[in-house]
Amino acid sequence: MRAALRGKGLESDLFITSRAGEAQEQASQPGFDCVVSVGGDGTTNEVANGIAGTGALLAILPLGTANVVARQLGIPQNAEAVAELIARNQSRTMDVGLHRGRRFLLGAGAGPDAAIVARIHSSRGKRLGIPGYFLPTLRVLSRYAWPPIRVVADGKTLCDDGHYAIVANCRFSAGVFRFTPNASVEDCLLDVCVMRRLSMPRLAVHAVASWLPRFTDRAGILYRQAREVVFEPQGAEVPLQVDGDPAGQIPAAFSVEPGALRVVAP
């Protein structure tokens, strides 16, 4: 990436992270016109939070497992192509979500995906690939108790009996599934998908069906768009993940900040 930027006449500094949170700390340093996140969605989340208020552009060289944000924006997986976009100052504005004062770019999930994320979090930084998530996913889902979730969108209760609730800024959830197919980073809204009456087999069917037309009209699926979303537990504890990292448990409140971020993208 540095060589590609140098070829465009652009100077750069290199920061190698060694722990969670360090990318945000480095990105928050003043004086940079652009900060390039080299990694996956977790690294991009940290950089996006770090540059808040600095005026710097966010650029992404997607080298993670799923790279959901880069896929949504059509960012190439090639250092030369990303450097060309930076040199041409080609960028677009992007909405961000807010949760407990932090930005999120991809989205959040309450329920089984958060339980899976918690299980594999110790492997962060290792290049597992999609197949590396398969066995932990089966183990978690085989034991998951499906506690109910109340979902409120713009002050209106959607349901009290959701088993998996997603709030999203991008189309893809859990890396590869189109559970929020209508999501856009430029519509000033968050997309909400709630799955009810779930079991492990039914979740598998929804996962496959998410790639088919009219997924949002399926039985057991509730789909809305909103500016403010709240997840609340209905008794038992429910885990939460935000942008693919563990985020404790619900209750949790989410809102959208329209056009808050400028991203280098086609």
Q: What is the pLDDT of residue 174?
A: 74
Amino acid making up residue 224: R
Q: Where in the sequence of the chain do the CATH 3.40.50.10330 domains occur?
A: 2-95
Gap between the Cα atoms of 123 and 121, Å rounded:
5
Length of the chain: 266
Half-sphere exposure of 242 (CA within 13 A, CB side): 20
Gap between the Cα atoms of 174 and 176, Å rounded:
6
Write out residues in the chain with pLDDT < 70, as ranges: 122-133
- CATH homologous superfamily of domain 2-95? Probable inorganic polyphosphate/atp-NAD kinase; domain 1 (3.40.50.10330)
State both tokens at 97.
Answer: 């979500």
Task: Kindly report the pTM of this predicted structure.
Answer: 0.91
pLDDT of 175-209, one tens digit each?
A: 789 999 999 999 999 999 999 999 999 999 999 99
Q: What is the pLDDT of residue 75?
A: 96
Q: What is the pLDDT of residue 135?
A: 81
Q: What is the pLDDT of residue 175?
A: 74
pLDDT above 90 covers a percentage of the chain that reads: 86
- Spelled out in words, what is the top-level CATH class assigned to the domain 104-259? mainly beta
Q: Where in the sequence of the chain do the CATH 2.60.200.40 domains occur?
A: 104-259
